[in-house]
């Protein structure tokens, strides 16, 4: 087993031909900060460069996979202006798409909350193993933000994608996610990582060139349909949204800075009827 400990927000190890990246901010439900995104990117560089790594598993420590992009981090940084937002969104997008674009198979092991940017990261993985307690969704529009990596319409039907995104759903259960095609398999709580690692180890036993070329052939199907172009356009739209700042987002962040993030989340929740 090879372990790399030079990280603040993730854990990274390699064993049996599998690289395991674990999101490791359990006290913050593994919120995706700038530091975490950069460390994920660095770990992916190592995993892709090592010939002995033949599959990559992504999981989360603690009570859930991840709550998505770190709003407290954004509050502290208070980004403003087109250039600043371009850098933020490009990092988010690039890191998420590492799992889609990687020549090596990527597998997400999900439990608990997996929403917003974290949901997009799980969607970017080739295979997603979900525990029965996993919940998915895209709540961004409910507090005036946009979607950074618009993969959802490519993974499920337009009706499901629009229902989740336009209504800001963030509690899509594992069973429904399976019906929608958002996950590959649902397993009992606590077995998601074990199952993902087993799948990864079996992939690692195959001819790596064969596996990588076959993944390339599958991805080519999406390339022909224009996935990369569509994602780039969606990213540009989100950049326009974030750099201009919607009134809802301004109010949400003002409340968060004045009264705390929990108060802002409560403000968001009280605006909408229970579904």
Active site residues: 140
Q: Are 58 and 125 in contact (CB under 8 A)?
A: yes
Q: Looking at the DSSP assignment, which residues form a beta bridge with residue 20? A: 13, 57
Q: Looking at the DSSP assignment, which residues form a beta bridge with residue 82? A: none
| HEC-encoded secondary structure of the chain | CEEECCCCCEEEEEECCEEEEEECCHHHCCCECHHHHHHHHHHHHHHHHCCCCCEEEEEECCCCCECCECHHHHHHHCCCCHHHHHHHHHHHHHHHHHHHHCCCCEEEEECCEEECHHHHHHHHCCEEEEECCCEEECCHHHHCCCCCCCCHHHHCCHHHHHHHHHHCCCCEEHHHHHHHCCCCEEECCCCHHHHHHHHHHHHHCCCHHHHHHHHHHHHHHHHHHCHHHHHHHHHHHHHHHHHHCCHHHHHHHHHHHHHCHHHHHHHHHHCCCCC
Query: Could you tell me which residues come within 8 angstroms of residue 53 by beta carbon, excluding any fewer than 6 positions away?
Result: 14, 17, 18, 19, 47, 104
């Amino acid at each position: 087993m090879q372990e790399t400990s030079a990280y603040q927000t993730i854990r990274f190890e390699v064993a049996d031909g599998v690289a395991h990246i674990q999101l490791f901010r359990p006290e913050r439900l593994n919120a995706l900060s700038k530091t975490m995104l950069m460390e994920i990117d660095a770990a992916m560089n190592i995993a892709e460069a090592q010939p002995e790594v033949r599959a990559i598993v992504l999981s989360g420590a603690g009570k859930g996979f991840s709550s998505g992009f770190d709003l407290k981090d954004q509050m502290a940084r208070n980004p403003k202006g087109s250039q600043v937002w371009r850098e933020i969104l490009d990092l988010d997008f690039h890191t998420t798409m590492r799992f889609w674009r990687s020549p090596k198979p990527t597998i997400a092991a999900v439990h608990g909350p997996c929403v917003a940017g974290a949901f997009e990261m799980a969607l970017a993985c080739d295979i997603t193993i979900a525990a029965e307690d996993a919940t998915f969704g895209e709540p961004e529009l409910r507090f005036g933000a946009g979607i950074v990596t618009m993969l959802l319409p490519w993974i499920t039907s337009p009706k499901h994608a629009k229902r989740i995104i336009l209504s800001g759903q963030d509690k899509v259960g594992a069973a429904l996610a399976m019906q929608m095609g958002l996950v590959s398999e649902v397993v009992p709580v606590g077995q998601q990582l074990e199952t993902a690692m087993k799948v990864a180890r079996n992939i690692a036993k195959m001819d790596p060139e064969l596996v990588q070329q076959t993944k390339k052939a599958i991805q080519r199907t999406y390339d022909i349909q224009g996935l990369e172009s569509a994602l780039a356009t969606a990213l540009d739209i989100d950049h326009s949204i974030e750099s201009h700042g919607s009134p809802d987002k301004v109010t949400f962040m003002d409340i968060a800075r004045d009264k705390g993030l929990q108060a802002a989340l409560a403000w968001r929740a009280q605006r909408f009827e229970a579904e």
